[in-house]
Amino acid sequence: MLGLIGLGHMGTPMAERLVAAGHRVVGFDASPAGREDAAARGIEVLADAGQVGRAAQVVILMLPNSDIVESVAAQLAAIPAAERAVSIVVDMSSSEPERTRALAARLAEDGIELVDAPVSGGVVGAVGGTLTIMVGGSVSQFDDLAGILDALGSRVVRAGDVGAGHAVKALNNLMSAAHLLVSDEAAIAATRFGVDPEVFLAIVNTSSGRSGSTELKLPRYVVPGTFDSGFSAALLEKDVRIATALGRGLGLDMSLSDAVRERWEQLNAELPAGADHTEIIRPLERRAGVEVRDQSRADSSSAASSGSVPVTPTEQ
């Protein structure tokens, strides 16, 4: 049996995919709304994290940060050995790599293995089973979990030993934030110059400047004005901080990355709490006096520009 703790925008569709693949899944979420939604979708929801650890041999965590991961892990480790079913915890959250290594050592003292397996691909990837999953663990652990992780992602890669998955995830999201910021600035400049945003993106996306931001985020969430990717600006800011701290901890010059972090923090401070990460363009648009939008939707988008689309924290 599998357990999944963290039944949010990512965790619930992941649980659904595991059920569809033939696994029996039990879950828990601290939010009553999360529990209700998961139960309505056919997921067996238990009373607390401890009950999940008593029922499932493998427990997946999809949680907002290392503090919450460590708290839940402590609850699992506190289950008396005679009552405990869980033997492997798979942390698919975006956690801090060094804290993941330390947590693995603590859990090992209680006879529980920890593997990190964060994801990229967002809610769309969670629903479609097309996530990229970066795994930190031994070769044998990677092989043992293949049947589970293959149900969730189309690309499952062993990054290295425990903590390596979280390191790669944080660095990936640092790069993603940098791509998005510079793509937003370029799109605003093009729009201000009089180039239609859709024409600009069509050209860039067959040229050397293309990225995930120009190919997906701007055309799907920014130009239509939906801003509903399902991944918050605050969570991306957290990942950028993890990545820059990791680099500095390794004695590296992270000057450009720190500039991205500082810029993201500055712009995110101007957004309402819970704003989608694709809304990071809004403060830039206000300063430029232009909006990067589909002209057919410009009027409705402009009317909504003073607000924000709140999202429940999830994983990019």
| DSSP one-letter code for 272 | P
Tokens standing for residue 235: 């969570």
For the CA atoms of the chain, what is the radius of gyration? 20
Write the Ramachandran bin of 158: left for phi over 0, alpha for psi from -120 to 50, otherwise beta: beta
3-state per-residue secondary structure call for 111-135: CCEEEECCEECHHHHHHHCCEEEEE
- How many helices and strands (H and E) does the chain possess? 14, 9
**Closest CA relative to residue 181, chosen from 305, 283, 269, 253:** 283
Query: Of 66, 65, 89, nearest to 77 (Cα)?
Result: 89
- Beta-strand ranges (E) seen in the chain are 2-5, 25-28, 44-45, 58-61, 88-91, 113-116, 119-120, 131-136, 153-160
- Residues contacting 288, CB < 8 A, separation 6+: 188, 192
Catalytic-labelled residue, pool 35, 101, 158, 169? 169
**CA–CA distance, 81 with 83 (Å, rounded to integer):** 5
| SS3 (DSSP) at 229 | coil
Pairing outcome for strands 119-120 and 131-136: antiparallel
Residue 132 sits at the vertex; the CA angle it makes with 130 and 139, to the nearest 5 degrees, is 125
Residues 212/226/4/26 CA torsion (nearest 10 deg): -140
**Is 238 designated active site?**
no
Task: Give the active site residues.
Answer: 169
